[in-house]
């Protein structure tokens, strides 16, 4: 008896420990705090739905779990509601509700859209959830649960929603040996060794989390690809995952190593124009689709950073992409070709290379090819101007690649909410084809009528109990899904939703946490790379500051290549007098950014070699402004620490403690960044630190002597 009691107690303890760990993400379904709202939810615990598909079983289970968690009530599945309160779930054809809209209007909601509508008859409220497909219903139900976990009333709902982008995708950079390139949250969650027979429950929770925010595509493997995943044995493993993800509306993609025909196919070449190579890919595609009929397609990094590609055979990106596209086309598969290419053989500003490479090829790609473009032209920097390829490819669908894993933003130890950064990029006006054509309009297909649209986030997920290492990094995964669904959503709304579902519904605490989140990105930019500085982090691992670094095997991997500090000033001249990367942007942008007096401060050192004594709008020199920005970054983190202390009673103990410790680390690292960068740049400016800027704690030599051979994320 005592034994049983002990076991139950342990079980209860481990359950609550799991609840406190962040494992449940934004699907925590915590007890509703507002008593009136909670009571009103109980009225909706009768549900009418035919359970005739795996997706509907998922819906029923999710509703059960959520209702128990939020109201303590178990839902009752009924055949009809007569005139009682409750929820009615069904395809539009099943519901046959006139007030939903005309057949044409409903059709326009597509395969993934849904409607939520409350109808009150004789004092009883019925909430209808309708869609054209079961996946639409799943999305509708998740929206309902989001509304409930943010404690809003259900009686007057009238919501219609459909995704603006077709592909809403996570790109895992996970290796088959379970290391994760640029992963800071443990190992890969994919246990390739035990698949396909052992399918970890965690994959289910992963699929639930993705479906709840509309993510419908995942690429499982690193873009620095390993051909082994395309072997028959591994395809069995991929199939097990695809089968699991299917009823959640999630398609699986794989990264295709361009040299796979040689490595696993026994051919002498991977030349895309070679008949045997073409045939090999045709057969491979057929094999994949025989196992996974809805396989999404291939994500390809070619001829970039040592990855093989068509250029190894004197062919171009079109030759490579179209060869794969031809193999996938009979099965409706897609090729997602990455535009992150640069070569050090070309003595050209790295900024300019992707545009130079791809713009001449516009119009030549097959109709099932998308070009995946990083938000900026260099590489996921803390803040980067939008990539000039957005708006420049009118005939080739361009999709967005954001990085959720914080490779350049403090790993998983810094609290950096990325939605404001994503917004800044999405809102940027490309002026192509005309003013008002924001990056969001380009990627949602409205500027150039793209056939395919999408947004991908490089995942920040690992085997850590809370998935993302930093509890707040979950918000970046969440934001990616929400913005891919609706690229116009504000950072504030996304933060509101996430906080209420994940941390607390207390209004004051929510506001404080939101303040922390909304200022966090600006703070990080300030203490790392203010006023347009970029790529001055540690070599290889990218941990911490190393602006002095100049020993890389290629010039454009050196920090000194990017900041170019000398006694006259600092920054990369990309104007007409310099590399002229600005010429790749539309005329109005060129004009504004070409002039050091009209360019936004935040882009200064991206495009100008700014004299140390240059007078800025506030009347102070660039050096003084730079120094103050670094200090502002540090002060900002200290402010976040204080704000966090004030919410202690409203968040769970374990996460409170975790974030407190992480903010402490962040504060110390912010000081390190400020001190190391200012100490180093001062050797060029030869100017004193202005008043209000704390002097460095150590000498420059000390910062230069630090080394981190085991910094995480190198993926080896
Ligand atoms: C860089 C990363 C590298 C990736 C590369 C990519 O440092 O690990 O392989 O991006 O996107 O930022 O391919």
Cβ-proximal residues to 216 (8 Å cutoff; 6+ apart), any chain = 112, 135, 163, 167, 168, 169, 210, 249, 250, 251
Q: Is 224 in the pocket of ligand 1 (CB under 6 A)?
A: yes
Residue with tokens 């035990």: 194
Element containing residue 510 per DSSP (H, E): helix 507-528
Please give the pLDDT value at position 715. Answer: 57
| Contact of 171 with 297, CB cutoff 8 Å | no
Name residue 121's beta-bridge partners: 124
**For 50-86, what is each residue's pLDDT tens digit?**
999 999 999 999 999 999 999 999 999 988 877 789 9
Going by C-alpha positions, the residue among 93, 98, 134, 97 that lies closest to residue 114 is 134
Give the model's confidence band at 415: pLDDT under 50 very low, under 70 low, under 90 confident, else very high: very high
Written as six digits, the tokens of 88 are 């009615």
d(CA 665, CA 218): 32
Written as six digits, the tokens of 337 are 């070709």
Instruction: Please compute the mean of the pLDDT values over residues 411-432 and round it to a whole number.
Output: 98
Query: Ligand 1 centre and the CA of 418: distance in Å?
Result: 18
Q: Is 340 in the pocket of ligand 1 (CB under 6 A)?
A: yes
d(CA 121, CA 83): 8
- 663: buried, middle or exposed (CB in 10 Å: 19+, 13-18, 0-12)? buried
Please give the pLDDT value at position 121. Answer: 85
Ordered by start, the domain boundaries in the chain are 23-161, 167-490, 526-572+609-705
Q: Return the higher-pLDDT residue of 217 and 5.
A: 217
Going by C-alpha positions, the residue among 407, 629, 675 that lies closest to residue 529 is 629
Of these residues, 181, 349, 357, 379, which one is catalytic?
Answer: 379
Of these residues, 62, 319, 407, 424, which one is catalytic?
Answer: 407
d(CA 275, CA 422): 43
Give the model's confidence band at 532: pLDDT under 50 very low, under 70 low, under 90 confident, else very high: very high
Provide the 8-state DSSP code for 25. T
Q: Is the pLDDT of residue 450 over 70?
A: yes
- HSE at residue 416, side-chain half, CA atoms within 13 A, is 30
Options 2.60.40.10, 1.10.1740.10, 3.40.50.1860, 3.30.379.10; CATH for 23-161 is: 3.30.379.10
Query: Ligand 1 centre and the CA of 668: distance in Å?
Result: 27
Q: Is 407 in the pocket of ligand 1 (CB under 6 A)?
A: yes
Q: Is the pLDDT of residue 97 over 90?
A: no
| Contact of 649 with 512, CB cutoff 8 Å | no
The torsion of the CA quartet 275, 276, 282, 288, rounded to 10 degrees, works out to: -160
Please give the pLDDT value at position 716. Answer: 53
| Contact of 250 with 282, CB cutoff 8 Å | no
Q: Is the pLDDT of residue 357 over 50?
A: yes
Q: Is 380 in the pocket of ligand 1 (CB under 6 A)?
A: yes
**For 636-669, what is each residue's pLDDT tens digit?**
999 999 999 999 999 999 999 999 999 999 999 9
Q: 526-572+609-705 architecture in CATH?
A: Alpha-Beta Complex (3.90)
pTM: 0.97
Q: In ligand 1, which atom is closest to the CA atom of 408?
A: 12
Query: Ligand 1 centre and the CA of 705: distance in Å?
Result: 26
Give the model's confidence band at 1: pLDDT under 50 very low, under 70 low, under 90 confident, else very high: very low
| Contact of 264 with 228, CB cutoff 8 Å | yes
| Helices within 150-255 (DSSP H only) | 201-212, 232-245
Q: Is the pLDDT of residue 485 over 50?
A: yes
Please give the pLDDT value at position 117. Answer: 96
Residue with tokens 């100049």: 550
Q: In ligand 1, which atom is closest to the CA atom of 301?
A: 13
In terms of phi and psi (left: phi > 0; alpha: psi -120 to 50; beta: otherwise), the region of 48 is beta
**For 10-52, what is each residue's pLDDT tens digit?**
445 455 677 789 999 999 999 999 999 999 998 899 999 999 9
d(CA 429, CA 92): 38
Please say if 94 is a catalytic residue: no
Which residue has a Cα nearest atom 13 of ligand 1?
223
Q: Is 191 in the pocket of ligand 1 (CB under 6 A)?
A: no
Provide the 8-state DSSP code for 91. E
180 φ/ψ angles, rounded to the nearest 5 degrees: -125, 120
Query: Ligand 1 centre and the CA of 35: distance in Å?
Result: 49
Written as six digits, the tokens of 593 are 């950014």
| Contact of 339 with 372, CB cutoff 8 Å | yes
d(CA 235, CA 229): 7
d(CA 373, CA 399): 6
Output the CA torsion sign for 648, 651, 653, 656: negative
Cβ-proximal residues to 678 (8 Å cutoff; 6+ apart), any chain = 626, 627, 630, 689, 693, 696
Q: Where are the beta strands (DSSP E) in 220-271?
A: 251-255
Please say if 112 is a catalytic residue: no
Give the model's confidence band at 430: pLDDT under 50 very low, under 70 low, under 90 confident, else very high: very high
**For 289-320, what is each residue's pLDDT tens digit?**
999 999 999 999 999 999 999 999 999 999 99
Q: In ligand 1, which atom is closest to the CA atom of 181?
A: 8
d(CA 420, CA 475): 12
For 23, 30, 481, the CA distances from 10, given in Å and listed in that order, are 18, 21, 36
For 342, 414, 712, the CA distances from 659, given in Å and listed in that order, are 38, 9, 20
Q: Is 40 helix (H, G, I), strand (E, B) or coil?
A: helix
User: Domain 167-490 has what CATH class?
Assistant: alpha beta
Question: Percent of the chain having pLDDT more than 70?
Answer: 97
Mutate which of 379, 380, 401 for ligand 1? The one with the most ligand atoms within 8 Å of its CB, which is 379
Query: Ligand 1 centre and the CA of 373: distance in Å?
Result: 13
Q: In ligand 1, which atom is closest to the CA atom of 458?
A: 11
Please say if 20 is a catalytic residue: no
Query: Ligand 1 centre and the CA of 137: distance in Å?
Result: 37
Rounded to the nearest integer, the mean pLDDT of the chain is: 96
Query: Ligand 1 centre and the CA of 235: distance in Å?
Result: 25
Q: In ligand 1, which atom is closest to the CA atom of 380?
A: 12
Q: Is 409 in the pocket of ligand 1 (CB under 6 A)?
A: no
d(CA 660, CA 127): 41
Instruction: Please compute the mean of the pLDDT values over residues 319-339 and round it to a whole number.
Output: 98
For β-strands 297-300 and 334-338, DSSP reports them as parallel
Residue length, the chain? 716
Mutate which of 350, 376, 378, 407 for ligand 1? The one with the most ligand atoms within 8 Å of its CB, which is 407
Peptide bond into 314 cis (omega under 30): no
The torsion of the CA quartet 507, 511, 516, 522, rounded to 10 degrees, works out to: 150
**For 221-280, what is each residue's pLDDT tens digit?**
999 999 999 999 999 999 999 999 999 999 999 999 999 999 999 999 999 999 999 999
Mutate which of 174, 175, 182 for ligand 1? The one with the most ligand atoms within 8 Å of its CB, which is 182
Q: In ligand 1, which atom is closest to the CA atom of 222?
A: 9
Q: Return the higher-pLDDT residue of 347 and 577.
A: 577
């Amino acid at each position: 008896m005592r034994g049983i009691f002990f076991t139950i107690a342990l079980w209860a303890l481990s359950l609550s420990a799991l609840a406190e760990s962040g494992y449940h993400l934004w699907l925590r379904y915590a007890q509703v705090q507002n008593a009136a709202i909670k009571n009103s939810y109980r009225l909706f615990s009768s549900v009418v739905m035919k359970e005739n598909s795996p997706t509907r079983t998922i819906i029923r289970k999710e509703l059960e779990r959520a209702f128990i968690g939020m109201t303590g009530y178990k839902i009752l599945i009924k055949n009809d509601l007569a005139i009682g309160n409750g929820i009615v779930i069904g395809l539009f054809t099943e519901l046959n509700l006139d007030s939903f809209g005309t057949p044409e209007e409903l059709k326009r909601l597509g395969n993934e859209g849904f409607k939520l509508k409350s109808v009150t008859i004789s004092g009883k409220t019925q909430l209808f959830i309708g869609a054209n497909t079961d996946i639409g219903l799943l999305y509708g139900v998740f929206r309902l649960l989001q509304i409930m976990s943010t404690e809003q009333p259900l009686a007057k709902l009238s919501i219609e929603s459909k995704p603006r982008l077709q592909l809403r995708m996570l790109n895992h950079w996970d290796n088959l040996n379970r290391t994760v390139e640029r992963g800071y949250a443990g190992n890969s969650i994919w246990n390739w060794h035990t698949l396909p027979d052992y399918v970890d429950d965690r994959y289910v929770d992963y699929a639930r989390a993705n479906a709840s925010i509309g993510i419908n595509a995942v690429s499982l493997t690193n873009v620095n690809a390993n051909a082994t995943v395309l072997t028959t044995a591994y395809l069995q493993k991929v199939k097990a995952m695809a089968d699991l993800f299917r009823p959640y509306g999630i398609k699986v993609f794989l990264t295709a190593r361009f040299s796979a025909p040689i490595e696993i196919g026994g051919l002498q070449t991977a030349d895309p124009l070679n008949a045997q190579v073409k045939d090999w890919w045709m057969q491979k595609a057929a094999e994949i689709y025989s196992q996974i009929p809805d396989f999404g397609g291939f994500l390809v990094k070619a001829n970039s950073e040592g990855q093989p590609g068509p250029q190894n055979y004197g062919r171009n990106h079109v030759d490579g992409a179209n060869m794969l596209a031809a193999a996938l086309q009979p099965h409706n598969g897609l090729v997602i070709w990455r535009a992150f290419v640069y070569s050090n053989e070309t003595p050209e500003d790295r900024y300019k290379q992707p545009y130079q490479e791809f713009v001449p090829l516009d119009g030549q790609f097959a109709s099932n090819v998308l070009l995946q473009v990083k938000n900026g032209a260099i590489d996921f920097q803390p803040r980067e101007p939008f990539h000039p390829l957005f708006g420049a490819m009118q005939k080739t669908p361009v999709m967005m690649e954001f990085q959720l894993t914080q490779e350049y933003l403090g790993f998983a130890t810094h609290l950096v909410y990325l939605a404001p950064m994503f917004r800044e990029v999405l809102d940027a006006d490309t002026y192509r084809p005309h003013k008002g054509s924001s990056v969001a309009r380009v990627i949602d297909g409205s500027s150039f009528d793209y056939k395919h649209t999408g947004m991908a986030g490089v995942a920040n997920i690992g085997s850590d109990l809370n998935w993302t290492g930093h509890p707040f990094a979950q918000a970046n995964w969440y934001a990616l899904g929400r913005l891919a669904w609706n690229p116009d959503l504000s950072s504030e709304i996304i933060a509101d939703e996430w906080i209420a579902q994940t941390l607390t519904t207390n209004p004051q605490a929510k506001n404080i946490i939101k303040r922390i989140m909304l200022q966090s990105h600006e703070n990080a930019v300030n203490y790392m790379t203010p006023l347009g500085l970029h790529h001055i982090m540690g070599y290889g691992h990218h941990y911490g500051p190393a602006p002095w670094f100049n020993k890389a095997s290629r010039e454009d991997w050196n920090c000194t290549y990017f900041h170019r500090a000398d006694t006259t000033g600092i920054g990369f001249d990309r104007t007409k007098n310099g590399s002229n990367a600005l010429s790749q942007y539309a005329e109005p942008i060129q004009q504004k950014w070409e002039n050091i007096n009209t360019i936004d401060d935040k882009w200064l050192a991206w495009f100008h070699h700014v004299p140390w004594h240059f007078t800025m709008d506030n009347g102070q020199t660039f050096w003084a402004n730079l120094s103050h920005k670094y200090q502002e970054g540090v002060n900002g983190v200290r402010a976040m620490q204080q704000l966090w202390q004030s919410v202690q009673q409203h968040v769970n103990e374990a996460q409170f403690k975790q974030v407190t410790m992480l903010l402490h680390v962040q504060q110390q690292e912010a000081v390190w960044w400020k001190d190391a960068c200012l100490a180093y740049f001062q050797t060029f400016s030869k100017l004193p630190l202005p008043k209000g800027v704390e002097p460095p704690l150590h000498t420059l030599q000390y910062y230069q002597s630090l080394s981190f051979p085991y910094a995480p994320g190198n993926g080896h």
